Structure 1
Amino acid sequence: TVFMATGVKQRKQSKRKVSEKISDEINEVVIPPTPGFFERRRISEEKKKYEEGLEELLQSYEKDKEVVEHDSPPEEEERDTDTFILNFVFYLTIVLIFANTIASYLSGSLSILSTLVDATMDLTTSTIMRLCLAQAQQVDPRYPRGKQRLEMIGVILSSVVMGIANVAMIFQSIQAVINDTVDPHMTLGTMVILVTGCSIKFVVMIVCLKRGNNFCKCQAMDLRNDILTGIVALVCAYLGDAYWKYSDALGAISVCSYIAISWIRNTLEHIPFMVGVSADKEQLSRILKIAIEHDERIQKIDHVMIYHIGAKTLVELHIVMDENLPLKITHDITHPLEQKLNRLDFVDRSFIHCDYVCDGDH
């Protein structure tokens, strides 16, 4: 009986020690604190951003599936619409130059004069874009790959011209303040001209944004700046006439500064495309999906490189297939894949290399 009691006591002590050890280990575990309001908000925004990006990628997959089965590149079918939009913006700008000239003469406002400068530069921008589009459509044996990269050059030239013109307008406004020559006079005719011009440009801007290509995006940004210029010029000219005359000059300086910064930033964003920056991850994913699903005899993707040569990209893709496949079979697999990739809206040219071993292209 004594031995049995001793054994029971030892087992209880052993269980107690094990329980205490487990309790100590649990206490040593660091329990993360509950995230605060801002942290939860950040996590929610990141999750929302991820889900939106995933949804856009899936939509791109579906769009690519339709494009690669089509007979001709979609941009050729949409070229007429782009040309019509550019022509409309061009002739609209000519009309608005005359209208803004009248408004500037009637008001004597620096803010409204900035709209005239902006409209004149719009005409220059539209001329540059039209020339680039016309040159890109011409067939020249000296340019075997065409002149599609002129699109990017046109965007950069437009940005430089707009930036320089608005900086010049800023200096003119500062000089007017120093010389005390600011004297705006707001009239009903000036208001009607500016409001009508802004309304028409807003409608055209919405159409350009829906188009989504580089030409129309450039025009949409230009129209957005025009609308902002018109609204701020209208308000500042009125304030300068009714309350404080220097608000007119300050309005011109503010608007021109914003436009100059926007176009300079646009130039800096496009320069990497001319240098040869890598394509984004979404485009890489779209290329890989098409390559993987193209033919079951493609065993591996050995190497892929996608980089810009202007507005569009060049694709270098190395695929691995069975070394015993005949040349005719490998050609019949790689050539249709190359044609599929060339139909994508962001691809200018693709090169498919077939190999029998995965060597990483060293």
Structure 2
Amino acid sequence: MPRSVNSARIDILPEPGIRHNTVSNGSSNSSPGSVMSTAGSAHDPLNLNSKIVSDLSPFSRKMRSFYKSQNEFIQACLDSMNHSEAAEAARQAQHAREDLKVRIASYGSLAANVVLFGLQLYTAISSKSLSLFATMADSLMDLLSGAALVYAGWVTRYRGDKSYKYPAGRRRTLGVGVVVFSTLMVGLSIELIIESVRGLTSKTHNQKVTAANIACISVALGVKLVMLGYCWMLKKHPEARVFATDHLNDLILNAFGLTMALLGTHVKWFIDPIGGLIVALFIMRSWASMAISQARLLIGASASTQLLNQLTYMAMVHDPRIQFVDTVRAYHVGEDVYVEIDIVMDENTPLYESHDVGESLQILVEKQPGVQRAHVHIDFDFQHPPEHHPKSQ
């Protein structure tokens, strides 16, 4: 058996008790559980297309979710092996459209954060509300982290003449920035907690939320709501997903902060510092969680099972001269993924042939979304210890 370190097995399973009908000669079948099928084509040598379930309506919600995920995985595998000029042109056009949408989301979100911070700063100073001061501090850090995110996207697209200083690119700029900002935000949250406790024990209470303050926060919430909807549609992209999470948190925090400030002004004074304390604790938890998540990616957490399965499939069907897929690894270096694939070929294969097979597989893998770098190792046997030994110290 070939060894498998952090490797994947392709699991494409039918629902127990459901018969999968083969559709041929262009005919259709609308019975429950029917699947679309084609004979093994040039880019579908394992005939995975026969496993696509075309009609999901008879199934329960849980099973519809299962088959939808499986259909998407199969389609991703088939698309990755379709090398026709039309398919390549379509992929490039789609990438250009998605890239433009993500840039609009990034710059639009940064502009929204600038507007929000300006309105929050005015509102916090004029109202003297601890709850609004807490949300203003969060808006400041959102602005800084958003600027770092836009910068990370910019240096990725336009590396410039000094790219030799960073041979693998600077995609990890975002992760490092998030960890730094999270540390600062946790420290700021502690200061806000201290101020809230001081407000609770103070004998003077002069916070006052006016109609102008409410109008400012309402405008900020409206802008954030629009940007949340736009970024949520692009959540499969890391940059847009981070901004969507940021907008959602801002909507919750600002609505809660404004409510507590109003209650502190018109009901009981101590509601406002309590609101500031709750907001500070929420901010601390949110940013600490984000820092831990980014740290895991920077350390080198394993890629998703679906990506490992897809990479295994690509290596299996890439070239008939590949006898075995020895090892498939994929691990994060920030948001992106590094891939290592070990394949086995006949020991009598000429060097130029094995080189071309390995290089073409590498190029194919590096075209996949989220893959920054791929390394393909070619061997003539798989019954030996792993080539790489992690350092123990």
Assess same fold via TM > 0.5. Answer: yes
Distance change (3 Å), C-alpha of 1:49 and 1:283: farther
Name the amino acid aligned to 1:122: D
**Contact residue 209 and residue 216 of structure 1 kept, 8 A:** yes
Once the 2 structures are TM-superposed, how far is the Cα of residue 256 of structure 1 from its aligned partner?
1.8
* 1:67-216 alignment runs, 5 A limit: 69=83, 70=88, 78-136=98-156, 137-139=158-160, 140-212=163-235, 213-216=237-240
* 1:1-362 alignment runs, 5 A limit: 52=65, 55-66=68-79, 69=83, 70=88, 78-136=98-156, 137-139=158-160, 140-212=163-235, 213-362=237-386
**Contact residue 314 and residue 348 of structure 1 kept, 8 A:** yes
SS at match of 2:233: helix
- Which digits, 9 at most, give the CA deviation of each residue in 1:126-183, with x for residues without a partner? 2322333333332321222221222322232232233332332222111111223333
**Contact residue 115 and residue 220 of structure 2 kept, 8 A:** no
Number of the residue aligned with 1:23: none
Give the Cα–Cα distance (whole angstroms) in 2 for the partners of residues 49 and 159 of structure 1.
Answer: 37
Number of residue pairs matched by the alignment: 316
Give the Cα–Cα distance (whole angstroms) in 1 for the partners of residues 377 and 102 of structure 2.
Answer: 35
Once the 2 structures are TM-superposed, how far is the Cα of residue 298 of structure 1 from its aligned partner?
1.8
Name the amino acid aligned to 1:225: N
**Contact residue 155 and residue 218 of structure 1 kept, 8 A:** no
**Contact residue 135 and residue 279 of structure 2 kept, 8 A:** no
Name the amino acid aligned to 2:109: V
Once the 2 structures are TM-superposed, how far is the Cα of residue 50 of structure 1 from its aligned partner?
7.8
TM-score by length of 2: 0.73
**Contact residue 128 and residue 208 of structure 2 kept, 8 A:** yes
Give the Cα–Cα distance (whole angstroms) in 2 for the partners of residues 298 and 67 of structure 1.
Answer: 18
Distance change (3 Å), C-alpha of 1:194 and 1:156: same
Give the Cα–Cα distance (whole angstroms) in 2 for the partners of residues 272 and 224 of structure 1.
Answer: 23
**Contact residue 90 and residue 123 of structure 1 kept, 8 A:** yes
SS at match of 2:164: coil
Name the amino acid aligned to 1:55: K
Name the amino acid aligned to 2:154: A
Identity, % of aligned positions: 23
**Contact residue 138 and residue 283 of structure 2 kept, 8 A:** no
Distance change (3 Å), C-alpha of 1:178 and 1:360: farther
Give the Cα–Cα distance (whole angstroms) in 2 for the partners of residues 147 and 240 of structure 1.
Answer: 46
Once the 2 structures are TM-superposed, how far is the Cα of residue 101 of structure 1 from its aligned partner?
2.8
Structure 1 stretch 251-260 or stretch 304-313: which is displaced more? 304-313
Number of the residue aligned with 2:37: none
Query: Which ranges of structure 1 fall in alignment gaps of 5 or more residues?
Result: 1-46
Give the Cα–Cα distance (whole angstroms) in 2 for the partners of residues 49 and 156 of structure 1.
Answer: 36
Query: Which ranges of structure 2 fall in alignment gaps of 5 or more residues?
Result: 1-59, 387-393
Give the Cα–Cα distance (whole angstroms) in 2 for the partners of residues 180 and 314 of structure 1.
Answer: 58
Once the 2 structures are TM-superposed, how far is the Cα of residue 67 of structure 1 from its aligned partner?
5.0
Give the Cα–Cα distance (whole angstroms) in 1 for the partners of residues 356 and 176 of structure 2.
Answer: 37
Give the Cα–Cα distance (whole angstroms) in 1 for the partners of residues 80 and 222 of structure 2.
Answer: 36
Name the amino acid aligned to 2:353: I
Give the Cα–Cα distance (whole angstroms) in 2 for the partners of residues 60 and 184 of structure 1.
Answer: 55
Give the Cα–Cα distance (whole angstroms) in 2 for the partners of residues 67 and 199 of structure 1.
Answer: 40
Distance change (3 Å), C-alpha of 1:201 and 1:143: same
Once the 2 structures are TM-superposed, how far is the Cα of residue 96 of structure 1 from its aligned partner?
2.4
Distance change (3 Å), C-alpha of 1:326 and 1:224: same
SS at match of 2:339: strand
Once the 2 structures are TM-superposed, how far is the Cα of residue 51 of structure 1 from its aligned partner?
6.5
SS at match of 1:211: coil
Once the 2 structures are TM-superposed, how far is the Cα of residue 296 of structure 1 from its aligned partner?
2.5
- Which digits, 9 at most, give the CA deviation of each residue in 1:48-68, with x for residues without a partner? 768735632431342354356
Name the amino acid aligned to 2:355: H
Distance change (3 Å), C-alpha of 1:180 and 1:197: same
Once the 2 structures are TM-superposed, how far is the Cα of residue 81 of structure 1 from its aligned partner?
3.2
Once the 2 structures are TM-superposed, how far is the Cα of residue 86 of structure 1 from its aligned partner?
2.2
Instruction: Give RMSD over aligned pairs.
Output: 2.5
Give the Cα–Cα distance (whole angstroms) in 1 for the partners of residues 352 and 268 of structure 2.
Answer: 80
Structure 1 stretch 100-109 or stretch 296-305: which is displaced more? 100-109
- Which digits, 9 at most, give the CA deviation of each residue in 1:72-91, with x for residues without a partner? 77767644433332222222
Structure with bigger gyration radius: 1
SS at match of 1:184: coil
